[in-house]
Chains A and B, each alone.
Chain A
Amino acid sequence: MPSLDQLRIGQRARILAVAGTDSLAQRLLEMGLLEGDELEVVGLAPMGDPLEIRLRDYRLSLRRTEAARIQVAILP
């Protein structure tokens, strides 16, 4: 199962799960990264990290280590 950090710019995906029960997982969930929701990778910072995604009605940036927590199904 791929995780969000493996996506390329322009790829869209559906969230399958957010791993963990710690405060990072809680933060990701609060920001609306919930199973079933769709997102799109829209940018990468100069050194390839962090990445910028679009979900719901807004844009969010997160580091690769954080994106690795989010399991996704890539959409065509």
Chain B
Amino acid sequence: MTAPTPLAPEPARPAAIRLTAALVGNPNTGKTTLFNALSGLSQRVGNYPGVTVETKKGRMICAGQVFDLIDLPGTYSLAARSPDEMVAVDVILGHQKGEARPDVVVAIVDASNLDRNLYLTTQALELGVPVVLALNMIDVATAHGVRIDYDELGRRLGVVVVPIQANKGKGLERLREAIATAAKSGHPPKGPTFPEAFDREAATLYDTLGGEVPLFLVRRLILDVGGYTEKRLIERWGPGIAERVQALRARLTAAGCGVPAVEARSRYAWIREATNGCVQRPATRAVTWTDRLDRVLTHRVWGTLVFLVLMFVVFESIFTFAKPLMDAISDGKDYLADSLRQGVTSGYLPSGPLSDLLIDGILEGVGNVVVFLPQILILFGFIAVLEDCGYMARAAFLMDKLMSRCGLSGKSFIPMLSSVACAVPGIMATRVIENRRDRLATILVAPLMSCSARLPVYVLLIGAFLPIRSDKNPGGFAWFVPGLVMFSMYAIGLVVAPLVALLLKRTLLRGETPPFVMEMPLYKWPAWRSILRRMIDSAWAFLYRAGTLILASMVLVWALLYFPREEGAEQKAAYVAGLQQKLASAPEDERAALQAQIDGIGRDGLTYDVHYNQLREELDRLTDEGQADPTKAAALEEDRNRVHGEWKRQSVLGWIGRTIEPVVYPLGWDWRIGMAAVASFPAREVIVGTLGIIYNEGRVKSDDILKAENAGDTKLAKALKNARWEDGPRKGQPVFTIPTALSLMVFFALCCQCASTLTVIRRETKSWRWPLFTFAYMTALAYVGALVVYQVGSLFI
């Protein structure tokens, strides 16, 4: 470089001050493994505003000196095209708010693919910060017959070169020493030489901008046509600068060093010169394991077959391996809830809204968060293994054509497939997609895939209204109908998601097709420790950042169903009359308690929760004694469920249901279905429980429906079949007809009734705009879908 160094060297700092090191490198170079090895357990995730990539930070000690180590996103080049790609440049230049300018850059390169890896290193050499070169995977390079003279290479590049094997922890001590020495030396290295015409133009432009923009960015401004530096500088300096750069580029082209080729030519020429003589490659390339494996794994037929089998295994594992863990979690939650309720009954816990909030609101909410963990852990385990061993790029390669039909790329396939089990891990898996628009489109349509939480709704409604014809059930349907309906529900997601993705890519997320120029890395054994770490990281990220919001929304719906809780004068009078009747015939030892109950109501009024709990406890006592009169117990149970239903129907949510009835009426729903649908917005599986309460069937869990031999025979299914319209033109007719059941299923298939999904979208996009958008478009889609199904269905059935 002939131009002046734009940034004055920093004054020497006392050793007690923490220094900062930044780790840069291409993807698939073992960068994360090195970061983990250097920083141990002292890691945290750093977030920068306006950026969706995460940077990890850790602490490392090199020769007694404490360093903050920043792991920058893996990249092939510092030519930033988006805010996400700009992070690395901003951090190293010291432009990132809240981040100290690094004292040293550690560039990790794959020794078995040296030339292309060094391209990024040559860019890092120009940032005005000392550089240490960590030459990783020397074992692979040696196996490929590559011989490297490390010291000579270091001399030619002007930096210290340390051979390492990050996965085996080899060479790390020497690397630490080199980092400490380089950081204290403060000598920035010298990068490759560019044609003189280019340097001259860059220096002039640097002066024109008053020296305010670092020379590195001035050069990027010239080199990156339509890049992010250009965008940012136009914002700061006005469009005049674009015209100036355009003229400058024309002059460079005329001088025979047009952009962008001048950069690649200069850098690769410099790399060739630097490696010439000190890096020896074998005359004939040996056939590697990667060559052999790729002959099968990217083969049109065999590759596809292996891929399909593998995806089936992943998909089945999310379903089957997660199931026992999820059952254990929900059983544990139920056990805890029962114990707490027992505590209320026996007086250890006060009865009333607080205990109810704890048991039905918070515990239920926490259970609903934790229950996702097994699926997240399993999926991320698989993704980490597939990515670490190099297969993920092959999967994207095989699926690219299919996904490009809906405007996406092969990298969107696994997130979409995972969403069939659960959209939460699916959305988290979109991090492998570098292009922001592609990633957003994938995130926004992932919740349309039919997830496993929709299953209980389908099973219940199909079991109740579309059963197979049999001797017991002569009004049933042909054997294939239930399966066909279930398949159609899944097909809705599979058809609608790509269509919406295509629409989004043509409208909101329109833009240049991102290049699908993707490295196919060498196959290698996965590093188990990194994999475990990624699984734990993803689980923690979900619990910590999404968990609290999911919990809040669960508690909100609980409150909407809980209040108001005062019973009307009529119910109160009827209840007191019943108690007095009992009192008249009660044995001596029960009279005092009954009298106290009546007095209590006279004093405090009667609330539904007290009433309900009294009936529940009475029933529990009766069944505990073991000699319950079946008719008496049944009457008591019915009474309990009636009070429960009455309570929920007059709650705020019940009022909402009645208010929105005109809106849901065209879908064939009465206000009770509307209310249950609203209650299930935080978590769709809640609808089964809510329908149970509203139809006086007490607590019904979605699991009971799935485990029932015939879902159509459950009490809830029978209650649904018996439900009648309470008023209006359809008064007295059954609420649930086949079109109504179908419209409800379609609504659930298309609607984003999942607080977890929405909070994970917020987490991944760092903005409320996208979860709100997802919610709005999916609700609209669900409404229209349900409307069409009901209205068209009513014409035929």
Contacts and interface: CB of A to CB of B under 8 A. Distances in A.
B76 A30 contact: yes
Interface in A24-71: 24-32, 34, 42-50, 52, 56-63, 65-66
B115 A32 contact: yes
A45 B112 contact: no
Contacts of A56: 113, 115-116
Given A26-B224, A27-B517, A45-B401, A57 B114 contact: yes
Taking chain A's interface residues, is the majority helix, strand, or loop, or is none over half, making it mixed? Answer: mixed
Given A23-B226, A34-B268, A58 B263 contact: no
Nearest to A24: B515
Contact of B298 (A24, A26, A27, A43): A43
Contacts of A47: 401-402
Nearest to A58: B113
Interface residues of A, number: 34
B304 to A, nearest CB: 5
Contacts of A65: 513
* A22, A44, A45 pick with most chain B CB within 10 angstroms: A45
Given A22-B225, A43-B298, A34 B516 contact: no
Contact of A22 (B112, B115, B226, B517): B226
A38 B81 CA distance: 28
B489 interface: no
Given A46-B303, A46-B304, A66-B515, A30 B264 contact: yes
Contact of B400 (A21, A23, A24, A49): A49
A29 B260 contact: yes
A72 interface: no
A18 interface: yes
Contacts of B301: 46
B263 A29 contact: yes
B258 interface: yes
Given A21-B260, A23-B81, A30-B79, A59 B519 contact: yes
Given A21-B225, A45-B298, A46-B303, A34 B517 contact: no
Contacts of A31: 76, 116, 517, 519
Given A52-B294, A63-B516, A46 B224 contact: no
Contacts of A29: 260-261, 263-264
A60 B519 CA distance: 4
Nearest to B402: A47
Contacts, number: 132
A44 B516 contact: no
B300 A45 contact: yes
Contacts of B281: 57
A43 B294 contact: yes
B43 interface: no
Given A27-B515, A45-B300, A58 B116 contact: yes
B434 to A, nearest CB: 11
Interface in B56-73: none
A29 B77 CA distance: 11
Contacts of A61: 393, 397, 400, 516-520
Contacts of A43: 294, 298-299
B121 to A, nearest CB: 13
Interface in B388-435: 393, 397-398, 400-402, 404, 410
Contacts of B522: 58
B294 A59 contact: yes
Contacts of B290: 59
A30 B26 CA distance: 12
A66 B515 CA distance: 7
A30 B119 contact: yes
Nearest to A25: B260
* A23, A30, A31, A65 pick with most chain B CB within 10 angstroms: A30
* A18, A61, A62, A63 pick with most chain B CB within 10 angstroms: A61
A23 B301 CA distance: 34
A45 B394 CA distance: 9
A70 to B, nearest CB: 11
A46 B112 CA distance: 29
B227 interface: yes
Given A26-B260, A57-B113, A57-B114, A52 B517 contact: no
B259 interface: yes
A47 to B, nearest CB: 4
B516 A66 contact: yes
Contacts of B397: 45, 50, 52, 61
27 contacts: A22-B225, A26-B225, A27-B517, A28-B515, A28-B517, A29-B264, A32-B119, A34-B264, A34-B265, A42-B291, A45-B298, A45-B397, A45-B400, A45-B401, A46-B303, A46-B401, A48-B401, A49-B401, A50-B397, A50-B410, A57-B112, A58-B519, A59-B294, A59-B519, A60-B517, A61-B397, A61-B400
Given A30-B119, A42-B294, A62-B517, 6 more contacts: A24-B515, A24-B517, A28-B517, A31-B517, A44-B300, A57-B281
Interface of A: 18, 21-32, 34, 42-50, 52, 56-63, 65-66
Q: Which 9 pairs, one residue from A and one from B, show the smallest C-beta to C-beta distance?
A: A29-B264, A47-B401, A26-B260, A59-B520, A43-B298, A57-B113, A30-B77, A58-B113, A32-B116
